[in-house]
Amino acid sequence: MSKLVNIVRATGIIAGTGLATYGGIELGDKLGNYLPQAYMLPEITQGVTAFLVGTIGNRVSRSILGKRRISESEAYSIAALNAFANTVNDSRNLSTKKSLEQISDNLVEIMVDNNGRRSLGSGLMITTDGYVITAHHVIDKIGDGGQARVKTQGGITYQVSKKNVWYNENTDIAVVKATKPSGHSEPIRVKVNQDCRLSRGDEVRILGFCDGQKYNTIGVVTDPSHTWRQDDGKVVQDLFQTDARGKQGQSGGVIANGNGELIGIVVYSSRKDGEDIGTIGGAKLSNALNYINQIAAKKSAKMFK
């Protein structure tokens, strides 16, 4: 994806957040000053662009919408989501080793309880205020009386409200928001492959949790364009198949390539009858990034209501 598209996307959300008005021009000033330092690409022109768009958005909104307010933490939360989805930070300068370490450090366990039945899965916390990417089927058992929790590697558990779950069944991707306090949210610093152009034979690394333990499995892409039929007959699209071996319960973990870039989310393990271990398939991260952008945009739009 071109650098210009990244800039336009990033500043678009900043403008949308700006239009929501945190005390008018104040939000534009705060975001304009904060984002270029923490998230935006190092070129000064792009930092200036972000500042101007946020500022102009607020000036326009003051004349159109008045002084409707949003919280500062919500504004930073939106900006952090967008920054992760568009990698408008310095994560691209990370080494492969450092990126994989950051991915590993931000893995979480997801526990879903529904009428006495518990299911477990993995996820990756992508912002410091608790946004997590995972597989949809990991959290789709949250019924009216059910609840989900996200457990960090430090042993801290955060609740997940059903209203804070976004998903797409066709690609088996979900984003959840744990109830985790954070004043100025930031995205995690990892390398992200936005296009997810895969070829047969590409090296992959699977990271996540299984039976309460972190796992790290290596393999290669065997089919860069794949579909999968779930047990209930639903067909999941736009996947890729690997020869990495995995067990049931590893769903929701993440997949990185040989450069330490995130490329996918574990959504299934294809096992033959009688086998406990199968080959892992993943949903392409490019779809998850699109959903994250949509969530950020919708959260900005809600400020108008």
CA atoms within 13 A on the CB side of 54: 30
Looking at every residue in the chain, the average pLDDT score rounds to 77
**pLDDT value at position 224?**
93
Residue 17 pLDDT exceeds 90: no
Pick from 66-75, 188-197, 257-266 the range whose average pLDDT is largest.
Answer: 257-266
In Å, what is the CA distance from 242 to each residue of 218, 257, 260, 280? 9, 11, 16, 6
The pLDDT tens digits for 131-148 are 999 999 998 877 666 689
Cβ proximity of 290 and 195 under 8 Å: no
pTM here?
0.77
59 burial class (0-12, 13-18, 19+ CB within 10 angstroms)? Answer: middle
> Is the torsion defined by CA of 232, 235, 236, 241 positive or negative?
positive
261-270 and 191-192 beta bridge pairing: parallel
Tokens 């979900």 belong to: 174
Mean pLDDT value of segment 257-273: 85
* Phi, psi dihedral angles at 6 (to 5 degrees): -60, -45
Q: Quick one: pLDDT band at residue 49, thresholds 50, 70, 90?
A: low
Mean pLDDT value of segment 147-175: 91
Please give the CATH superfamily to which domain 191-284 belongs.
Trypsin-like serine proteases (2.40.10.10)
The domain segmentation of the chain, as residue ranges, is 3-92+289-304, 109-178, 191-284
Mean pLDDT value of segment 181-197: 85
Q: Quick one: pLDDT band at residue 64, thresholds 50, 70, 90?
A: very low
Lowest mean pLDDT, pick from 10-19, 76-85, 275-284? 10-19
CATH number of 109-178: 2.40.10.10
Residue 7 pLDDT exceeds 90: no
**301 three-state secondary structure:** helix
**pLDDT value at position 1?**
46
Mean pLDDT value of segment 88-117: 85
The kind and range of the H/E element at 48 are helix 44-64
Q: Is 109-178's fold the same as 191-284's?
A: yes
**pLDDT value at position 38?**
42
Cβ proximity of 111 and 225 under 8 Å: no
